[in-house]
Structure 1
């Protein structure tokens, strides 16, 4: 392997590691802490359609754990703690956007929607850092696919381990 290819592979692995930590730690936090510190991000408010804005499964605890986890893993990568925290925050913004869309469709929290689940939480941060990280459009699409595929692969495992309420 050439060193250039190794650098690309290393960068892509670092991006996926930060996004993975940001998306796994809220699940682990709920499993370990139950409902403690689980205030919903939307504070129980409803949108004009009468449905929850995001739902009670999107919590401040989850957001905090995601950003802290992204910063911790980012600190082990060339992106640094700040870059990891930013990637994680953008991932959670994508996740909240997906939840908002699902609530508008009348779906409950955790209800799987294959093309929506795991796509925005990787696409939003990758689009934001694409140029600075030197990602091409095809590579961005491959990373979104890899993230979504890994999430779909691990979701049933996390459900069997009772870390997820239902598989995605």
Structure 2
């Protein structure tokens, strides 16, 4: 198997938890905003109605769950990888939890930044919308697990492509109001 595919599979395995954590909150349709409907000093909402406690805790649970499932199959999947002369990164359930938490905190920070620029919920912010959760996952995750440069390099374009496709699908399924 070519090296390019090794890095693809290694990266995909690594980002299961952050992807799951980030994908889950829009499905919840929570009713309790994290910012309690409050405005920041600039008069704009702190985060907005789109960031809810239900989404935060649901995303954290789902990301951790998906990472734990991947961990349960780690030995089998890594054996397959080793027969092809590469290995998968080891992600424990605790690491899955931290990566998921980082993804959600990164997404919250992205919303906070958008509100500071006066951007409304759903307004496009290229790269910030797509990569805030990934940056948060990598930042927080780096405290509990090794993150190779190859995974970071691969995760950025993979995320941009997957994010676009998943948002279009979510829009077509009427789960999202905007296709971005």
Larger displacement relative to structure 2 (73-82 or 92-101):
73-82
Structure 1 residues 47 and 104: alpha-carbon distance in aligned structure 2, compared to 1, 3 A threshold: same
Matched, 1:77 2:34: no
Aligned equivalents of 1:148 and 1:38: distance in 2? 29
Answer yes or no: is 1:57 the counterpart of 2:50: yes
1:28 CA drift (Å):
1.6
Contact in 2 for aligned 1:74/1:82 (Cα 8 Å): no
Q: Check conservation: 1:95, 1:118, Cα contact below 8 A.
A: no
Alignment partner, residue 22 of structure 2 = 23
* Match among 108, 123, 126 for residue 138 of structure 2: 126
Which stretch has the larger CA shift, 155-164 or 143-152? 143-152
Calculate the aligned-residue CA RMSD, in Å.
2.1
What is the distance in 2 between the residues matched to 1:145 and 1:54? 27
User: Alpha-carbon deviation of 1:62?
Assistant: 0.5
Distance 1:53 1:134, change over 3 A: closer
Question: Matched residue of 2:70: which SS?
Answer: coil
What TM-score, normalized to structure 2? 0.79
Q: Deviation of residue 57 (structure 1)?
A: 0.7
Report what 2:78 is aligned to.
none
**Aligned partners of 2:161, 2:68: CA distance in 1, in Å?**
25
Question: Aligned residue for 1:14?
Answer: 13
Question: Do 1:19 and 1:91's aligned partners in 2 also have CA atoms closer than 8 Å?
Answer: yes
Q: Give deviations 1:76-127, integer Å, cap 9, x for gaps.
A: 2242322212111100111011101110111111111112112110012123
Q: Structure 2: where are the runs of 5+ without partners?
A: 72-90
Distance 1:94 1:46 in 2: 20
Q: CA separation of 1:76/1:47 partners in 2, compared to 1, >3 Å: closer, same or farther?
A: same
Aligned residues between the structures = 159
Q: Confirm or deny: 8 A CA contact 1:73 1:81 kept in the other structure.
A: no
In 2, Cα distance between equivalents of 1:71 and 1:115:
25
Relative contact order: is structure 1 or structure 2 higher (C-alpha 8 Å, sep ≥ 6)? 2
